[in-house]
Amino acid sequence: MKASFLGAASYEGSGQPSGAWPVPPEACDRETAVRSLRGTIDNCRRAEELGFDWVSVSEHHYAPLMLTPNPLVLAGALTQAVRHAKIALLGPLLPLNNPVRVAEEIAMLDAMSDGRIVVLFLRGLPFEHNTYAPVGEQSREMTQEGIELILKAWTEPKPFAWNGKHYQFQSISVWPRTRQVPHPPMFGSGNSEESAVFAARHKFGLAMSFMPVSQVKRVIARYRAEAEACGWSPGPDQILYRGICAMDAPGGDGNPFAQAEAKARVKNEDAPLIVRGPFFTGGASSVLKQIESLKEAGVGVIDVGISSTGGVDYAAQTAALDLFGREILPKVRGW
């Protein structure tokens, strides 16, 4: 089993603004933002030293949750800071971006990293569809057409035109080419059944996040059935789950953040885990059992966001990351 560290690039501190989106720029202290991004790069480097197979980045806008309106910029820095681990783009939001520009930038990243890029394209959260221009109900179609366009841009040896429903380009000719042939490994979203079917039909991996194991099992079963109908069978490395870990320190009173979140969890297992709180909680044995339950469901890669107590504190996150690296990572990678 493989493990990935989520370089969330969250704004440091416990007094993060909450409520309506977007969060006003005046709430962002400039020095804190600098420190937060530096801490993210440092902890991604530390994750590689501990033995994580991947580090991952994601895209979000106008809020302190993730300071990555363009995750490819952070990924570019990570190609130089992280020398061996794969760099997973989980993922660029296609309805908000020019897909040809995304294809060019990812191809460049793949060359800069000597072929260590992994890609998942996403639609984004509904409120983020208003970041630049309203997208509305077109977001799924735009995402799927954008993926088809990018795949052709990476594999077509000659310049070509694209005249689709949502995108029109007179001439596409991507330089540099991707280092990986025919292109970086691709994942598709498993957060809806329709998306899981799309992933299976394109022979993409499957990526899920913040959902209970019962739902994970259902989505994987649907994905595998569609893949088999299309004449192929996905391996464990092609099924990924993202969750947040707030693990108790050994020999202490536990992790207060994890305890508070656990008490606040919704009891209905089918409720979204992003509402129910961190997925990986408790002591090392408890966290291992939770990861094992995902493994038994068919997951082969876990993408872990490491929580610290009392808000985002990068020094505390480093300590929590080291704890995970000592107590959890060797066993998980041995499975």
Domain-located, residue 190: no
Same-domain status, 327 and 239: yes
Whole-angstrom distance between the N-terminal and C-terminal Cα of the chain? 5
Residue 295 domain boundaries: 2-83+235-334
Q: Are residues 78 and 143 in the same domain?
A: no
For residues 281 and 262, the answer to whether their CB atoms sit within 8 Å is yes
Question: Could you report the per-residue pLDDT of 144-182, keeping only the tens digit for each?
Answer: 999 999 999 999 999 999 999 999 999 999 999 999 999
| Listed residue (158, 117, 166) closest to 138, CA to CA | 166
Domain boundary among 116, 149, 181: 181
Mean pLDDT of 191-209: 94
Q: Tell me, yes or no, whether 29 and 99 share the same domain.
A: no
Residues 254 and 329 in one domain: yes
Q: Are 262 and 321 in contact (CB under 8 A)?
A: no
My answer on whether 45 and 96 are in the same domain is no
Mind listing the pLDDT tens digit for each residue in 21-69?
A: 899 999 999 999 999 999 999 999 999 999 999 999 999 999 898 999 9
Count of structural domains within the chain? 2
Cα(323)–Cα(300) distance, integer angstroms: 22
Whether 310 is covered by a domain: the verdict is yes
In this structure, is residue 221 part of a structural domain?
Answer: no
| Shared domain check, 76 and 124 | no
pLDDT at residue number 250: 76
- Residue 126 and residue 72 in one domain: no
For 179, the token pair is 């280092």
Kindly report, residue by residue over 220-278, the tens digit of the pLDDT: 999 999 999 999 999 999 999 999 999 888 755 445 444 444 444 444 444 444 445 67
